[in-house]
Each structure stands twice: as C-alpha cells, then as structure tokens.
Amino acid sequence: MSKVSNLQKESLVMLKETSRTFFIPISFLEPTLKKTVGSAYLCMRAIDEIEDHPELEDQAKIKLLSTIQHMLETDFNELTYLELVTPYRDFLPPVTMRLADWISVCPADIREKVMESTAIMAGGMSKWVEKNWVIQTKEDLDEYTYYVAGLVGTMLSDIWRWFDGTETDSEHAIAFGRGLQAVNMLRNYDEDFERGVTFVPDGWTREDMFNYAKANLAKADLYVKPIKNKRILMFCKVPLALAHSTLKALKSGKEKMSRVEVEGIVEQLKQEERLS
C-alpha cells in the first residue's frame, strides 16, 4: 500500500479519535470529499489544540500559532515544522504533531485554499491568546467565533465549490460555524465559568447567549437551502440538527443529549433523504 493510501486511512482513524461528532456527518460524503474535508478538519484541529491547551504557556502558544501562520502563508516545510513543534512534543497531541501529514492528504488543487484558511485561523487564535480571550462586546464575540469556527464554514464552502460548483452564501457559511460554536459555548458554560473563563460579552446573560446561538443557527438553516448534492446536504444537516436539538436540551435544563437521541436524529435525517 502506498504512503498516501496509508495516510488517508490514518487520517480517518485520527478523525474518529479527535471528534466522534464530526465523524458522523463525514461518513456520508463520497470518497474524494471525505478525504478532503477530513484532512481540512484535521489541519484546523491541529491549530485548535494549541490554542486550547490547558498546560501550554500563553507565550508558547503565541509563538507556535504565529510561526505556523507564517509557514502556511509562505513555504510550509515538514522538517521546519517538526523543528518548531518538537520542543513541545510532551504537550502537543498527535493531531498537531502531524499537521504536515494532513496537508499532504489534501488534494493538490484545493490544498492552497485549506492552508490559507488554516493560516488565518492560526493568526486569529494567536491574537486572542494575546488578548487573554477577554470578550467585552458582541463584536468581540463575533470576531472570536469567526476565527475558531466561522472559518470552518467558509472553508467548507470553498471545498463544495471546488468539488461540484455548489455555491453557498458566505455570510451564512460563517453563521453555520459560528452557530455550532455558540452551542458548544453554552454546553460548556458552567465548566468554563468554574475555571475562570467566559466567552460572554459584558452585561450579557445566559439568555443573551441562547439568542446569539439561535440567530446564527437560523442563518445556518439558510446556508443549506441551495445545496443540491444530497451527500453534502446530509453532511451539513446532521451537525445543524444536533445543534438545534442540543440547544433545546440545554434550554430545558439537560446537560447534553444522549447517544441514543443523537442516533435517532441521524436516522430520522437519513429517512427524510430517502423519501425526498
């Protein structure tokens, strides 16, 4: 088996290990898209693990993120990258150490776009580490959620366009990622508060965060409307349906949905697609 084939298999294994939730919708994509979206997600997850690391010093995060941004924007080289991250190998997870592998799995004619989006994410995250994640206004929240999630939406739109010409609205694409992130923030609201972290703007209540999530998910619903490719549509509909249901569960006082509830939602969507 070739090195590329091995890496493709390893990327799917890594995907399942790093995000079971994301692995569900990606399984609906056909092979080329599965490989492309999977590698793109792993590139961004590699960056996210640096920004989100509980033990890395902030200065180390800023150095890593800003240097990776520059490398992705200029001339990414695996050996240079390994020289950068190896001193932190006791902290960084395999998904981050192997960023070069995920880039190489991505098809050559969309790779530059994926690297560009990942570079913007790294730069934005570096900026927010410097700001100590202090979110004071809705504009701050919009900017932060753009870097950590809205960019995922725009990158997916780039991939859909590249694959079969599917066009989606860029504002709705950002809201798609932003809405999913807002639901995650609400799900981790109490846990974040206990460790002294808050992503809630000054003066906002938990209800304001619910409204923020709902407004973005409403735009995310519009994002999927023009998508005709059924596999891409299922990929988008699954996390969107789970986000809507999680929001309802949180509103009613539940911490999260059960695995059985998640499986039920996915199965219902599959049935609806068979009937349409």
Domains belonging to the chain, first-starting first, are: 1-113 (no CATH), 133-275 (1.10.600.10)
Burial group, residue 53, by CB count within 10 angstroms (0-12, 13-18, 19+): middle
Of 205, 161, 176, 178, the closest CA to residue 33 belongs to: 161
Instruction: Tell me the pLDDT of the chain (276 aa) as tens digits.
Output: 556 678 888 888 898 888 877 888 998 999 999 999 999 999 999 999 999 998 999 999 999 999 999 999 998 999 999 999 999 999 999 999 999 999 999 999 999 999 999 999 999 999 999 999 999 999 999 999 999 999 999 999 999 999 999 999 999 999 999 999 999 999 988 777 777 778 899 999 999 999 999 999 999 999 999 999 999 999 999 999 999 999 998 988 876 666 777 778 778 877 776 644
Q: What is the number of H-type helices and E-type strands within the chain? A: 15, 0
* Residue 53 backbone phi and psi in degrees, to 5: -70, 125
The first and second tokens of residue 22, run together, are 């994301």
- The Cβ of residue 221 has, within 10 Å, a number of other Cβ atoms equal to 16
- Answer for the pair 138, 216: CB distance below 8 angstroms, yes or no: no
pLDDT at 275: 47
**Dihedral of CA 118/218/245/188: which sign?**
positive
Dmax (CA) of the chain: 58
Output the pTM of the full model.
0.91
HSE-CB for 270 with a 13 A CA cutoff: 10
**65, 239, 182, 208: CA torsion to nearest 10:** 170
Strand, coil or helix: 1: coil
pLDDT at 2: 59
Crossing angle (nearest 10°) for helices 206-224 and 230-251: 160
